[in-house]
Amino acid sequence: MLTFFTNGFSPFARKVAMALEYKGLSHETVDGLTHANRERLIKVNPRAEVPVLIDGDVTVVNSSDIVDYLDRRYPDRPVYPVDLRARVEARALERLADVRVDAILLDCSIWTWADRKDQPPPGLKEAGQRDLDTIFARLEETLGRYPAPFPFGHLSIAEITYWPHLAALRPLGFTMDQTKFPRLSEWFAAMRREKVCQDDGKRTADFLRTIPTNTSFEREKIFWRGDRVEWLLARGFHDWFMGEIKAGRVLWPD
């Protein structure tokens, strides 16, 4: 039996949950980000991050390593493209989402889920939208070189990585201009028709409904990982971030 340390809010955990569903792999889930399960999570991942997958005596940490492991161990319905060139492109798309899209959306969304009385620093959201537009242009160009709607011919790592982020855009107040990015919009529309994405949407909506009254998670201190800090500093929000550190509102991995 597979054991999956996950969390309903984490795009990385949702990526793995969708891969498990796509491959039809049954598993038990542990919400790794509750206070109650924290020590259990640290035992399997000292960075205290989800997702983590336990398969017998094998422990796999990090979403792309987990999906890669699943493809090698359970090769039916591969999530990564088998063709080497397509695989390199798919990994590049995945990395862009994991290190940059996630950073922008997480950094700009703190005020929607954390226990905060203040407002975001001025200009944060505008910087986020600007950088998202640059990324959308890059995606539009890449997708344009591949068949529509799914570039790799089937639901793949590209869709399960981008789905949680693209689905969060509108609720977080960001836009994706259909006239500027028609191919990207078509891609997102095709994802919306997939059961794996719809099921993720339902699980996420159920989880989000609990947020206002949920006391089982850390909501005062924000967990900061490298890529998320990098984006803030690169866009000039260092004073705000130093204020967070000084106010004791920061948690670090490990």
Ligand X SMILES: N[C@@H](CCC(=O)N[C@@H](CS)C(=O)NCC(=O)O)C(=O)O
Binding residues for ligand X, rule: CB under 6 A, are: 10, 12, 33, 48-51, 62-64, 98, 223, 225
- Closer to ligand X by CB, 3 or 64: give it: 64
φ, ψ for residue 36, nearest 5 deg: -65, -30
- Closer to ligand X by CB, 109 or 142: give it: 109
Token pair of 51 as six digits: 């997702």
Least distance in angstroms from the C-beta of 144 to ligand X: 27
Least distance in angstroms from the C-beta of 136 to ligand X: 21
Token pair of 156 as six digits: 């793949």
Cα torsion 94, 99, 102, 105: sign: negative
Least distance in angstroms from the C-beta of 193 to ligand X: 26
Closest Cα to residue 80, out of 66, 71, 230, 60? 71
- Closer to ligand X by CB, 23 or 228: give it: 228
Bridge partners of 54, per DSSP, are 3, 59
Least distance in angstroms from the C-beta of 93 to ligand X: 14
Token pair of 175 as six digits: 């836009």
- Closer to ligand X by CB, 49 or 183: give it: 49
Least distance in angstroms from the C-beta of 179 to ligand X: 32
- Closer to ligand X by CB, 64 or 112: give it: 64
Cβ neighbours around 213 below 10 Å, total: 6
CA dist 94 and 3 (Å) reads 24
